Amino acid sequence: MSDRLVFFGELLIRLTAPGNELLMQSPSFALHVGGAEANVAIGLAHLGHDCAMVGRVPDNALGRGAVAAVRGAGVDCAAVASGPGRMGLYFLSVGAGLRASEIVYDRAGSSFAASGAADYDWDALLAGAGLLHLSGITSALGARSAEAALAAARTAKRLGVPVSFDGNYRAMLWEAWDSDPRAILSELIGAADILFGNHRDLSLVLGREFSGDGADRRREAAEAGFAAFPNLCLIASTARHTATADHHRIAARVDLRASAHQTDEVDVTGIVDRIGAGDAFAAGVLHAWRTGGDARAMAETGLALTCLKHSLPGDASRFGAADIAAFHAGGLDVRR
Per-residue pLDDT, 211: 83
Q: For 245-320, where are the E strands, in sequence order?
A: 247-256, 260-262, 266-269
Rg of the chain over all Cα atoms, to the nearest angstrom: 19
- The pLDDT value recorded for residue 1 is 56
Which residues belong to the active site? 279
E strands along 88-182, which residues?
88-93, 102-106, 131-135, 163-166
Cβ proximity of 232 and 225 under 8 Å: yes
pLDDT in tens, 262-286: 999 999 999 999 999 999 999 999 9
Q: Where are the alpha helices (DSSP H) in 8-60?
A: 36-45
Residue ranges of domains in the chain: 4-329
The helix (run of H) or strand (run of E) holding residue 171 is helix 171-175
C-alpha 160/C-alpha 197 separation (Å) is 23
Segments of 35-154 assigned E as strands: 50-57, 76-82, 88-93, 102-106, 131-135
Query: Cα–Cα distance between 105 and 140 in angstroms, integer?
Result: 14
Contact by Cβ (8 Å): 16, 32:
yes
Which pLDDT value is given to residue 2?
73
For 214, other C-beta atoms within 10 Å of its C-beta total 11
pTM of the model: 0.96
Architecture of the domain delimited by 4-329:
3-Layer(aba) Sandwich (3.40)
Residues in the chain where the model's pLDDT stays below 70: 1, 331-336
